[in-house]
Structure 1
Amino acid sequence: MQRRTFLRSSALASSLLLVPTLLHALDAGPGLARLRDARGRRLIVVQLGGGNDGLNTIIPYKNELYYQARPTLGIKESAGILALDKDLGFNPAMRGLKGLYDQGQVAVLNSVGYPNPDRSHFRSMDIWQTGSAAEQTWSTGWLGRYLDSACADCPHPYNALELDDTLSLALKGQTRKGLALKDPAKLHRLTQSRAGAAAHLADHAHEHHAAQVDYLYQTLAETTSSAQYLYDKTRIYQSATAYPAGEFGKSLKTTAELINSGVESRVYYLALAGFDTHVRQQEQQGRLLGQLSDGLAALAADLAQSGEWANTLVLVFSEFGRRVGQNASHGTDHGTANNVLLLGGSLRRQGILNAAPDLANLDQGDLRHQVDFRGIYATILQDWLGADDAGILGTGFERVRGLV
């Protein structure tokens, strides 16, 4: 029996393959106390998959070079651009985020990237998720290493949760990993049949796969208590806030319910895909940015109502931006530097934090990065989560001073 076939034989495999091993009991321990040193603060990461076009997200609507590069794709002020500061404006679909911006709850960093950028979706996403340099290949993620550092003896497997079926590299550490789940109720139902599933696996595996059977059986058993805990917690609080329809809105709602129910996770990781807009970009990107904007506005309102928004920081990023010039298909191709959004109820610096992208000084048609994304990570790790940013990322990255 092949390992791939062996794993597929379990209905739980897709949910549990990336669940960390050696999960412990749910009683509080020293690891939980160490995480609480960050004063109950949490981080929510939103990954925009596909390479979001930053120039049509934060629009330089007073810059004629923008319209020269995008004669039909450039969004005109008359289309309803939502004016911000420094002659920049949100895409017309981003009214929810504009409301938060006006309340001082959004910060924008322009031209974020890294030296020698890679235009491959997979490679660039790996770089962003690990915090490596372009010439390095790392097997652990920046948030996974945070768990290694700050949560070495945590009793819980859910100190970092990803609202998905599989765990991203970002949440994989050397010794600690996050927990991936789309729906606490679904995970709970799956783990309830653990005994039958494990027996089925054992009965159908050859003897030389016994170690694999033992591993899956133990993982299954260890996950059950966590699934029960999360399921019970989400039954405490049922959100009445209206979120956008679709998977992303559902994930945001689940995140709010977990937070408002008292789950002790310090990191939540979500994704919104579909931003690879080579063709007919306007409609597709507008729809996705509307989901992003309305969803985050709903999340902020939900958490503010329960008093949790002040303890929350949201990071929104994409693996790269798009080319400055439009292509022949009324879309944009893979580019380099991009904007990054930070949201929260306790931002000390708000608005546009640096200069708009320099469209007069391009690198073969691409934006030059002005801010290294690892400096943003270092800021979050040290100033927000109270972690050792140098130990997790290395040194030499300039933090965003006074942000949080």
Structure 2
Amino acid sequence: MSSTRRDFIRTSALASSLLLVPKFLHALDRGPGLARLGDAPGARRLIVVQLSGGNDGLNMVIPYKNDLYYRARPTLGIRETDGILALEQDLGLHPALAGLKGLYDQGQLAILNSVGYPNPDRSHFRSMDIWQSGSGADQSVSTGWLGRYLDSACPACQQPYNALEIDDTLSLAMKGSTRKGLALKNAGKFHQLTQNRRLAQVSQHTAPGHHSQVDYLYKTLAETTSAADYLYRKSSGHHSAVAYPNSDFGKSLKTTAELISAGVESRVYYLALSGFDTHVRQREQQQRLFTDLGDGLAALAKDLQQHNQWENTLVLVFSEFGRRVQENASHGTDHGTANPVLLLGGKLRKKGVLNAAPDLANLDQGDLRHQVDFRSIYASILKDWLEADEAAILGTGFERLSGLV
């Protein structure tokens, strides 16, 4: 192999790490001038927020009228005197979630309690794979539910790309068999990476057609550069005036809003907020995390409202599992099972608390029993919001939640 070809393979690690799919980005060469997604009749987008680490849902959506909750959590239990934000059905939000309470009061928040799946797994990696793939606990699936949405719903898509993850790497959720999402922290840094002089030199001196691996990497690099140029061109000059939390999560939300307001044609955005593995000192950690989450999502809603993009946006918030009902000896909680899922948007068909609070008197070996299979939520979003074939993506047997979105 020539030194040029070896250099190309080494330096093309950038393109590979960005996890793009060839075929997907040829439309980028069409240049600017695309209509905004929100201007297309019936067009809708989905923003997924992943709470990584296993969020303790019982201290997020709190059954503050239930004595069993306080018996299980004599030190961790959040009390009315702490400033619980009252909802309905004797439930309340954690005091740090004032941003979400504001959206709830405006009819822009829906809460589904006790969401999970049969035979739950308490491993972070395995349970996250299950949620991201949309599979059962007894299955191993190498594609994600949103990746399969890209595969099935957009076989001849004319948009530049369909899905963006605001991160350095791409999650399983965004990987399909033939299409994948695109991972980037922000358009400016993404564009800067592709302007690397060494990459440009190798690209110019390596002609495709000689070696299948080199051909693939050459094509991927070319399409990565094209994608970066498009995103940079579309988003330049679009800077949000809304105040977001000064955190990685806040910056990711701001980037998402700026891309949307710039007219970038993505149907799916994927973000993560990490740190929810609260085995110790949970109270302090949740205070910080929930402030970031609530204030950040409230800022996103305000930002998109200002650009007339909130009504055609749905936000899904989930975590890979909840925590044990009983607090542990380290002022934290250990890995559990079912958990609340949140839906936010300017055009929710159902609002508020949508089902019964967790049954603390009927536990499964100390864990909550799930009331709702998470794949029923996915099926509802795919069919009723994204207008996709949910059975082709998830398989059969998952009844949609009527009128959810």
Give the structure-2-normalised TM-score.
0.92
**Residues 1-400 of structure 1 correspond to what in structure 2 (within 5 A)?**
9-10=10-11, 13=14, 16-22=17-23, 23-26=25-28, 27=30, 39-156=42-159, 158-193=161-196, 196-197=198-199, 199=201, 211-400=212-401
Q: Which runs of 5+ in 2 are unaligned?
A: none
Does the 8 Å CA contact 2:111/2:343 hold for their aligned counterparts? yes
Deviation at 1:260, TM superposition (A): 0.6
Q: Which runs of 4+ in 1 moved over 6 A?
A: 5-8, 32-38, 201-204
The one-character-per-residue Cα deviations of 1:182-210 (angstroms, maximum 9, x if unpaired) are: 1110111111236x326459999xxxx95
Which stretch has the larger CA shift, 357-366 or 33-42?
Answer: 33-42
Deviation at 1:158, TM superposition (A): 2.4
2:169 is matched by which residue type in structure 1? Answer: T
Which stretch has the larger CA shift, 224-233 or 319-328?
Answer: 224-233
Query: Number of residue pairs matched?
Result: 393
Deviation at 1:348, TM superposition (A): 1.3
Deviation at 1:213, TM superposition (A): 3.3
Which stretch has the larger CA shift, 213-222 or 353-362?
Answer: 213-222
Does the 8 Å CA contact 1:313/1:343 hold for their aligned counterparts? yes
Does the 8 Å CA contact 1:15/1:166 hold for their aligned counterparts? no
2:199 is matched by which residue type in structure 1? Answer: A
1:24 is matched by which residue type in structure 2? Answer: H
Does the 8 Å CA contact 2:18/2:184 hold for their aligned counterparts? no
Deviation at 1:259, TM superposition (A): 0.5
Distance 1:339 1:141 in 2: 21
2:130 is matched by which residue type in structure 1? Answer: I
Does the 8 Å CA contact 1:20/1:157 hold for their aligned counterparts? no
Distance 2:250 2:163 in 1: 19
Q: How large is the RMSD of aligned CA atoms in angstroms? A: 2.5
Deviation at 1:155, TM superposition (A): 3.9
Tell me, what secondary structure is at the counterpart of 2:122? coil
Does the 8 Å CA contact 1:147/1:176 hold for their aligned counterparts? yes
Deviation at 1:403, TM superposition (A): 1.9
Q: Which runs of 5+ in 1 are unaligned?
A: none
The one-character-per-residue Cα deviations of 1:226-275 (angstroms, maximum 9, x if unpaired) are: 11111111114211000001110001001001111111100000000000
Which stretch has the larger CA shift, 271-280 or 33-42?
Answer: 33-42
Distance 2:322 2:40 in 1: 36
Distance 2:7 2:361 in 1: 57
Tell me, what secondary structure is at the counterpart of 1:297? helix
Distance 1:231 1:383 in 2: 32
Distance 1:357 1:223 in 2: 46
